[in-house]
Amino acid sequence: MALVGGEVVAVLVLGEPSGELLLCEFDGQAVALSGLSAERVGFWPASESGVRVDGVTVPALDLSDALKQFRSDRPAAQEAHHE
């Protein structure tokens, strides 16, 4: 978990720590991604398989599995109150 702009957000660990968190919205929730290095920020046109950056197609990042793993690793709210 991380505190971003006064809001507590989930942190999905996708690789070795880079010292950066990438904040995005996934399924309507703010989520921070750890283990990535941002080379550039901005908005790019979508393609069938991702986005196009400077004429190069960059594949979409599928976070579904990482989010499922995160949700299954954390204790349920009731379990946390009993500890």
* Segments forming the whole domain that contains residue 55: 2-37+44-81
Instruction: Note if the pTM is more than 0.85.
Output: no
- Could you tell me if 49 and 62 are in contact, meaning their C-beta atoms sit under 8 angstroms apart? no
Task: Give the highest mean pLDDT range of 30-39, 59-68, 70-79.
Answer: 30-39
Query: How far, in Å, CA of 10 to CA of 25, rounded?
Result: 11
DSSP three-state, residue 68 = helix
Q: What is the pLDDT of residues 66-81, one digit of tens each?
A: 778 777 876 554 444 4
